[in-house]
Amino acid sequence: MSNNSSNLSQLLQQYPWLPSLKDIYRDIALKDPIQFINDIFDNEQYDPIIERISKFFSVAFENLEIFPPFKPDENNISFYLLLKIILFVLNNKRITNRIANLYSKVTYSEIKKELEGNNRRNGIFILYQICINLGLNIQYIEEETYHTTLIRDNKKELKTNFKLYFTDFLHLSSNLKDDYRKLVNNTLSKGYVYIIPKELTRLIQEYVRKKILEINQIDKDNIENMRKSLFNNQNFKSLYDNIYSLWELKKEDFEYSIQVRFEKDKNLMELFPPCVKETLILIKEGQNIPHISRLFLTFFLLALDYPVDNIIEIFSATPDFNKQIAQYQVEFAKKKEYSPHSCDTLKSLNLCMATKYKDKLCIEGYFSKKKEQEQKIKHPLFYTQLKQYKLSKGQND
Amino acid sequence: MTNSTYLKRVFQSYYRERKDEIIPVSSLKKREFGFIPWDKKIMIRHMGFSDINLLREYTVNNPPRHMYSSGSLYNLPNNQEMEYKDYVGCDLIIDIDVDHFYTPCKDKHDFWYCQECNHSGKGMIEKCTKCGSLKIKKFSWFCEICLDISKKEILNLIDNFLVPDFDIQANEMQIAFSGHRGYHLKIENDKIRQLTSEDRRELVDYFTGRNINFQILGFDEHAGQIFGFLNNNKDWSRKITDKIQNMLLNNTNEEITKFLEQIGLSKNLIISFINSKDYFLNILKNNDYNLWNIEGFGITTWKRFLKGIVHEIGVEIDEPVTIDIHRLIRYPGSLHGKTGFKVQALTLEELYEFNPLNENKKHLNPIVFESYEYKQKIKISSIEIPEFYIRDKTYGPYFKDDIIDIENHIAILLLSRDVAILEE
Could you read off the pLDDT of A119-159 as tens digits, one per residue?
888 999 999 999 999 999 999 999 999 999 998 888 899 99
Residue A194 with chain B: CB contacts under 8 Å: 234
Question: If you compute the radius of gyration of chain B from its CA atoms, what whole number of angstroms results?
Answer: 25
Q: Residue B387 has what DSSP assignment? A: -
- Distance (Å) from the alpha carbon of A210 to chain B's nearest alpha carbon: 15
Rg value, chain A, Cα: 24
Residue B325 near residue B90, CB atoms below 8 Å: yes
Q: Which residue of A has its CA nearest to B192?
A: A167
| Chain A residue with Cα closest to B324 | A355
Interface with chain A: mutation pick from B235, B238, B317, highest number of A CBs within 10 Å: B235
Indicate yes or no: CB of A146 within 8 angstroms of CB of B233: yes
A271 Cα to chain B: minimum distance (Å): 27
- pLDDT at position A260 is 41
Residues of B in contact with A151 (CB under 8 A): 220, 222, 227
Q: What is the CATH number of domain B220-313?
A: 1.10.8
Q: What is the pLDDT of residues A269-284, one digit of tens each?
A: 788 899 999 898 888 7
Nearest CA in chain A to B189: A167
Q: How far is A137 from chain B (nearest CA, A)?
A: 10
- B230 shares contact with chain A (CB less than 8 Å): yes
On chain B, the residues whose CB falls within 8 A of the CB of A348 are: 210-211
The answer to whether A149 and A156 are in contact (CB under 8 A) is yes
CA atoms within 13 A on the CB side of A46: 19
Residue A191 and residue B166: Cβ atoms within 8 Å? Answer: yes
Chain B residues within 8 A of A352 when measuring between CB atoms = none
Here the ipTM equals 0.92
Which residues in chain A have their CB less than 8 angstroms from residue B225's CB? 152
Give the per-residue pLDDT at B120.
Answer: 86
Residue among A277, A287, A314 nearest A95 (CA):
A287
Cβ within 8 Å, pair B196-A174:
yes
Q: What is the 3-state secondary structure (H, E, C) of chain A?
A: CCHHHHHHHHHHHHCCCCCCHHHHCHHHHCCCHHHHHHHHHCCHHHHHHHHHHHHHHHHHHCCCCCCCCCCCCHHHHHHHHHHHHHHHHHCCHHHHHHHHHHHHHHHHHHHHHHHHCCCHHHHHHHHHHHHHHCCCCEEEEEEEEEEEEEECCEEEEEEEEEEEEHHHHHHHHCCCCCHHHCHHHCCEECCEEEECHHHHHHHHHHHHHHHHHHHHHCCHHHHHHHHHHHHCCHHHHHHHHHHHHHHHHHHHHHCCCCCCCCCCCCCCHHHCCHHHHHHHHHHHCCCCCCHHHHHHHHHHHHHCCCCHHHHHHHHCCCCCCCHHHHHHHHHHHHHHCCCCCCHHHHHHCCCCCCCCCCCHHHHHCEEECCCCEEECCCCHHHHHHHHHHHHHCCCCC
CATH 3.90.920.10 placement within chain B: 3-98+146-203+318-368
Hey, is B379 helix, strand or coil?
strand
Question: Is the pLDDT confidence value at A18 over 90?
Answer: yes
State whether B205 and A137 contact (CB < 8 Å): no
Chain A residues with at least one Cβ partner in B under 8 Å: 137, 146-152, 165-167, 170-171, 173-175, 179-180, 182-192, 194, 348-350, 371-373
Contact A148 B234 (CB under 8 A): no
Domain range summary for chain A, segments of one domain joined by +: 3-90+219-248, 115-209, 269-392
Do residues B415 and B407 touch, judged by C-beta distance below 8 A? no
Per-residue pLDDT of A229-251, as tens digits, reads 999 999 999 999 999 888 887 76
Q: CA-based angle B172:B31:B53, to the nearest 5?
A: 100
Question: B233, A151: Cβ pair inside 8 Å?
Answer: no
* CATH hierarchy code of domain B3-98+146-203+318-368: 3.90.920.10
pLDDT at residue A393 tops 70: no
The CA-based angle A141-A18-B86, given to 5 degrees, is 100
Q: What is the pLDDT of residue B183?
A: 97
How many residue pairs from chains A and B have C-beta atoms closer than 8 A?
A: 107
* B248 contact A CB<8A: no
Residue B209 in contact with partner chain A when CB distance is under 8 A: yes
Does B220 contact A149 at a Cβ distance shorter than 8 Å? yes
Question: Looking at beta carbons, which residues of chain A come within 8 Å of B299?
Answer: none
Burial label, A277 (beta-carbon count in 10 A; 0-12, 13-18, 19+):
middle
Report angle CA B132, B136, B140 to the nearest 5 degrees. 130
Taking contacts as CB-CB distances below 8 angstroms, the residues of chain A near B220 are: 149, 151
- Give the long-range contacts of residues B41-48, CB within 8 A, separation 24 or more: B43/B68, B43/B328, B45/B328, B46/B77, B46/B78, B46/B79, B46/B80, B47/B77, B47/B78, B48/B76, B48/B77, B48/B78
8 Å CB contact of B222 and A189? no
Judged by a CB distance cut-off of 8 A, whether residue B203 touches chain A is yes
Q: 3-class DSSP state for residue B86?
A: coil
Using the beta-carbon criterion (under 8 Å), do A166 and B166 form an inter-chain contact? yes
- In order, the DSSP letters of B130-141 are TT--S-EEEE--
Q: Is B191 on the interface with A (CB under 8 A)?
A: yes
The ranges of chain B with pLDDT < 70 are none
**B227 to chain A: which residues are within 8 Å by CB?**
149-152
Q: Residue A135: left if φ>0, alpha if ψ -120 to 50, beta else—which one?
A: left
Percentage of the residues of chain A whose pLDDT score is greater than 90: 43
Rounded to whole angstroms, what are the CA distances from B233 to A185, B392, B424?
A: 12, 47, 67
Q: Name every chain B residue with its beta carbon within 8 A of the beta carbon of A190.
A: 164-165, 167
**Site from B160, B166, B293 to mutate, A interface, most A CB atoms within 10 angstroms:** B166
| Residue of chain A with shortest Cα separation from B207 | A184
B188 CA to centre of own chain: 19
- Partner-chain contact A167 B194, CB within 8 Å: yes
The rounded distance, in Å, linking the Cα atoms of A111 and A117 is 10
**A173, B205 contact by CB (below 8 A):** no
Residue A66: its pLDDT value, please? 78
Binary contact (A185, B206; C-beta < 8 A): no
User: Residue B234: its chain A contacts at CB < 8 A?
Assistant: 146-147, 187-189, 194
Cβ–Cβ below 8 Å for A137 and B212: no
Rounded to a whole number, what is the distance in Å from the CA of B115 to chain A's nearest CA?
12
**The pairing of beta strand B403-407 with beta strand B420-422:** unpaired
Which pLDDT value is given to residue A373?
67
Q: Which residues contact A333 (CB under 8 A, 6 or more apart)?
A: A295, A298, A299, A302
Query: Chain A contacts of B167, Cβ < 8 Å?
Result: 190-192
- Residue A152, min C-alpha distance to chain B (Å): 8
Report the interhelical angle of A291-303 vs A274-284 (nearest 10°): 120
Contact A170 B194 (CB under 8 A): no
Choose, out of A150, A153, A159, A373, the residue to mutate when testing the contact with B (most B CBs < 10 Å): A150
> CA A308, CA A46: separation in Å to the nearest integer?
47
